[in-house]
């Protein structure tokens, strides 16, 4: 299902839901559209088009809905399309952003049906303490893995603790299971120092690592026994009118199986804010030079996208 099909379906669904809602005096309806593209140095490209309807829609922080999507994977002369449907739910506090953001559904690619989704539930049991519970799932993004229908699920919990007025520590423990029987244990940690609080400037030290349970995955994806990475990151978050602008630049090193080291680099940019008539738009872009699912010392990937919410 390509964009030419998805967009008319979105319009039809939105118009129908709006008419029903207005007739019944029901809560507001909104249309959702998202385009996300990525590519890497191995020539692997991904394009996802998503469209849906949000009902009830109270705000960009409080809604439920459903969306259809199509993801196209391509490399050289090979390509596959993965059609899917996901349910959407978001309910967050506007001051702290604590709450639940979730999506979940199924996709079908190369004759395989797989569960996909992403959920994050955050809450604050104490003033200086935050907790996040995370679950995610998707198809592994390589040609061999897609043809074999290899997908993963990721489950984690993190704790954020303010150590001083300007220093915060975050620790995460998680487990990643693959449909081919492999599994990984993940540990991550961050120290965040508010370098210039009034300007939204932070300095961060990020560390993460994992250990794989299986040595041989048939070449479907990069799978070292042990992986470690650290980065020093400078981050900025500013409010400009109704917009929130954030970005980060980082550099560090990764170590594969305890001996093979490569440099890593990160660049992130995100802007989101309101438009006329209650519309909401999010723009994002990211560059990451570090080993993902492809074994290459110079591997890097880029991603960019836009999400638009249009209330009726």
pLDDT for position 9: 43
Does pLDDT of 104 surpass 80? Answer: yes
Q: How confident is the model at residue 2 (pLDDT cuts 50, 70, 90)?
A: very low
Tell me which residue of 110, 117, 119, 42 sits closest to 72, measured CA to CA. Answer: 110
pLDDT for position 95: 87
CA distance 135 to 93: 20
pTM of the model: 0.88
Tell me which residue of 66, 132, 58, 54 sits closest to 100, measured CA to CA. Answer: 132
Does pLDDT of 197 surpass 60? Answer: yes
Q: What is the pLDDT of residues 23-52, one digit of tens each?
A: 445 569 999 999 999 999 999 999 999 999
Query: Per the structure block, which two tokens stand in for 25?
Result: 């005096």
Q: What number is the average pLDDT over the span 142-150? A: 96
Question: Please, what is the average pLDDT of the chain?
Answer: 91
Tell me which residue of 1, 68, 81 sits closest to 31, measured CA to CA. Answer: 68
- Segment (H or E) for 144: helix 143-148
pLDDT for position 21: 44
Q: How many CA atoms lie within 13 A of 271 on its CB side?
A: 7
Does pLDDT of 161 surpass 90? Answer: yes
Q: What number is the average pLDDT over the span 175-192? A: 98
Q: How confident is the model at residue 6 (pLDDT cuts 50, 70, 90)?
A: very low
Q: How confident is the model at residue 234 (pLDDT cuts 50, 70, 90)?
A: very high
pLDDT for position 25: 52
Does pLDDT of 122 surpass 70? Answer: yes
Domains (range + CATH), the chain? 79-311 (2.40.160)
pLDDT for position 291: 86
Does pLDDT of 236 surpass 90? Answer: yes
CA distance 33 to 9: 11
Does pLDDT of 78 surpass 50? Answer: yes
pLDDT for position 263: 94
- Segment (H or E) for 257: none
pLDDT for position 237: 96
pLDDT for position 296: 76
Does pLDDT of 17 surpass 80? Answer: no
Does pLDDT of 12 surpass 80? Answer: no
């Amino acid at each position: 299902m390509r964009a030419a099909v998805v967009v008319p379906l979105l319009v039809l669904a939105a118009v129908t839901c709006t008419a029903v809602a207005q007739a019944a005096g029901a809560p507001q309806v909104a249309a959702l559209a998202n385009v996300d593209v990525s590519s890497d140095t191995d020539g692997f490209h991904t394009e996802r088009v998503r469209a849906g309807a949000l009902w009830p829609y109270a705000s960009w922080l409080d809604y439920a809905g459903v969306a259809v999507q199509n993801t196209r994977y391509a490399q050289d002369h090979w390509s596959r399309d993965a059609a899917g449907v996901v349910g959407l739910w978001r309910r967050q506090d506007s001051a702290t952003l604590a709450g639940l953001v979730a999506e979940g559904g199924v996709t079908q690619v190369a004759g395989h049906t797989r569960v996909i989704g992403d959920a994050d539930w955050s809450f604050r049991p104490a003033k200086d303490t935050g907790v996040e519970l995370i679950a995610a799932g998707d198809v592994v993004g390589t040609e061999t893995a897609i043809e074999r229908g290899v997908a993963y699920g990721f489950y984690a919990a993190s704790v954020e603790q303010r150590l001083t007025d300007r220093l915060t520590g975050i620790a995460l423990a998680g487990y990643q299971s693959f449909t081919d029987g492999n599994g990984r244990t993940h540990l991550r940690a961050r120290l965040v120092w508010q370098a210039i609080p009034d300007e939204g400037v932070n300095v961060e030290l990020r560390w993460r690592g994992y250990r794989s349970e299986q040595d041989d995955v048939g070449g479907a994806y990069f799978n070292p026994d042990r992986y470690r990475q650290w980065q020093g990151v400078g981050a900025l978050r500013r409010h400009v009118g109704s917009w929130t602008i954030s970005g980060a630049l980082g550099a560090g090193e990764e170590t594969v199986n305890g001996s093979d080291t490569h440099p890593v680099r990160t660049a992130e940019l995100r802007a989101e804010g309101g438009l006329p008539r209650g519309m909401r738009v999010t723009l994002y872009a990211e560059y990451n030079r570090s080993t993902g699912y492809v074994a290459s010392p110079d591997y890097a990937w880029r991603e960019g996208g836009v999400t638009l919410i249009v209330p009726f």
